[in-house]
Structure 1
């Protein structure tokens, strides 16, 4: 019986000892934050210190907008020290931290603030071309950053500068939401504007804005030619006056001008040109018969010219036609111009062949040394009677009932 009680006594002691050890293992670790500072300048060294009564080294979880990391501590004299890594302290923003220790609920935040310095200036500007007149504008956007590529503090001064012709201007603007911006309006004149910016002693590079003329206004046109004969050879040149906008700026080089020509038959001819120093020119060959032209020019949808009239005199009043070789060889000429000289090579001559009032064939040739020759082959035109019509320089001649054999 004594043995039984002795066994029970020792079993009770063992259970009591186990319960005491378990309660000691579950005891909370007492850790307190010693660092009171919550604002740091970007790039500075950040150390979080904690006091502890136990020899424990829990990890510190850190997170910012760029990512998360775990930091191991150093332990000395019941003090835990966590050195925050540079990839976190070199970026501005809020950093959240939490101590990873069972039984310890300790977390907080600290701020990494930007430096009041400018190492580089990122500058954006556009559009690169605007219209003169004072209503169109380009926008300058400036992003000053520190040596660690962080945006500078809010309300950092930026000086926006621009030069145009003899005028130089500067405007103070301030950063907000990481940037500073300025709308730069055009002037009444056209030209090139130079734009730059400066912040805390750091300057941007130079940018160029082209201020082009605005919508052109109506203009006048003239015609120039070596003579007024319709020889189908010489060139008539059409020119505009200096085309300007309503601010009296010369329009940009390359402005497209279209010349419309209405002849006496109601047909429309067209030629085009582009401006150089505000003047557009275009050329067209003379007609080969007497004609009256009415010319008007347009800058499509924006401006138009006055109407001008150009008259051309007939140079060929008559021409000879000779039939030979059984009427199968036809010679047209000589074709003579206004001084009785041979017409320049290239005058168009048409031969139209009919039978029973039905057009069988049309041949077109150009003159050479004042003559044009046609040869009718027996394989195409059998021996029979045909009607012929010859057209050139606005003159028509008919030869009826010509027999081929």
Structure 2
């Protein structure tokens, strides 16, 4: 019994000694991985070597990540020092890099900063809109992004010099980068013209940019009408013209400003013509009516400005016309159609023949005049023998023949 107790005591001491030895080894193992590199900031493009001391032959991987992605780095072991070479796709990009040394017994983590090179290789410049309105309230924005040879934006508070010129005014202003960019709002002047803009950063200069300062919104304007005569001959042209369109500061509006002319006739119909400005003046044309009429004209720049109202009266060019029947009343000749000087009316005047039977309209025939006359032929296939009522309309005039016998 005594021997058994002695044996058990010795076995217990051996086990306790073994556990104590293993625990000490684990603690010692955890203490063997230590960061030797003291730098926490590097310039982009530098060779970055993170070094750790190690008393074992193990080579745990290093997990690295930045805003562009992540990677696993396998080290090399030299004289109990682990060397982790940071690959170029991480070391070339500025920003914060986080790392974690992955080991089953001991894990270390940390971070280091990669800064951009402090000289400019490229000066990215953006500007817009390319056209702004005069008056001092509209503006264009200049955006400058200075980058190094590895395309990294320079650090915050890097100085950018902005120069801009308008007519006789030249200005130079300083702006500083923030969150990769530097920007400046450049406001228009009171008159129209062209702004020239350039920028410079660390002795690197941008190219010249230009922004057009256009006239502002046009104000109300006046219109006038010009015509060769006041007769409704359906042939001559009336020309409508605006005054010089300007904004509230007196700047002439841009060429191509669209102006619509609306014409209200005496019977309530609305005609429309349009024109675009050249040197501030818009011109539009409209053919004379073919019958006496009153026109009320008003022009609009849609949703922006409008003109005064102009009223034009057109007198009848044709006072009367003759109608001749022949060939069993089936051939009808209208004319001569003579204008205000007894001259033949120009070709193309519309002549309308309306044919009724038993007080019902059965046919409307429209033809255009030729050499001052218009001819209609009523063939037997379409119009059987019998009595018809005929109405002839031309140039606002109308003649009615109550009983016309066709045979």
For normalisation by structure 2, the TM-score amounts to 0.88
Match of 2:270 in 1: 268
Equivalent residue in structure 1 for 2:374, among 372, 375, 384: 372
Match of 2:305 in 1: 303
Match of 2:340 in 1: 338
* Comparing 31-40 and 69-78, the one that deviates more: 69-78
* Comparing 233-242 and 29-38, the one that deviates more: 29-38
Identify if the C-alpha distance between structure 1 residues 63 and 279 changes in structure 2 by more than 3 Å, giving closer, same or farther. same
Provide the secondary structure at the position in 1 that maps to 2:28: coil
Residue 316 of structure 1 and its aligned partner are, at CA, apart by 1.6
* Comparing 206-215 and 376-385, the one that deviates more: 206-215
Identify if the C-alpha distance between structure 1 residues 57 and 294 changes in structure 2 by more than 3 Å, giving closer, same or farther. closer
Equivalent residue in structure 2 for 1:159, among 155, 158, 161: 161
Identify if the C-alpha distance between structure 1 residues 316 and 38 changes in structure 2 by more than 3 Å, giving closer, same or farther. same
Unaligned 5+ runs, structure 2: 1-10
Identify if the C-alpha distance between structure 1 residues 24 and 271 changes in structure 2 by more than 3 Å, giving closer, same or farther. closer
1:21-77 CA-to-partner distances (Å, cap 9, x unmatched) read 978975733233222221222222222233344454443333322233333444444
Match of 1:51 in 2: 53
Identify if the C-alpha distance between structure 1 residues 37 and 371 changes in structure 2 by more than 3 Å, giving closer, same or farther. same
Match of 1:63 in 2: 65
Unaligned 5+ runs, structure 1: 1-10
Aligned length: 399
Match of 1:247 in 2: 249
Identify if the C-alpha distance between structure 1 residues 93 and 329 changes in structure 2 by more than 3 Å, giving closer, same or farther. same
2:87 corresponds to 1:80: no
Moved over 4 A (4+): 14-27
Match runs of 1:83-122 below 5 Å: 83-122=85-124
1:225-246 CA-to-partner distances (Å, cap 9, x unmatched) read 2222221111111111111111
Residue 374 of structure 1 and its aligned partner are, at CA, apart by 0.9
The whole-number CA distance in structure 1 between the counterparts of 2:269 and 2:80 is: 105
1:256-281 CA-to-partner distances (Å, cap 9, x unmatched) read 21112223334322211122221111
The whole-number CA distance in structure 1 between the counterparts of 2:399 and 2:15 is: 140
1:325-354 CA-to-partner distances (Å, cap 9, x unmatched) read 111111111111223221110111111222
Match of 1:220 in 2: 222
* Comparing 125-134 and 180-189, the one that deviates more: 125-134
Match of 2:132 in 1: 130
Identify if the C-alpha distance between structure 1 residues 300 and 78 changes in structure 2 by more than 3 Å, giving closer, same or farther. closer
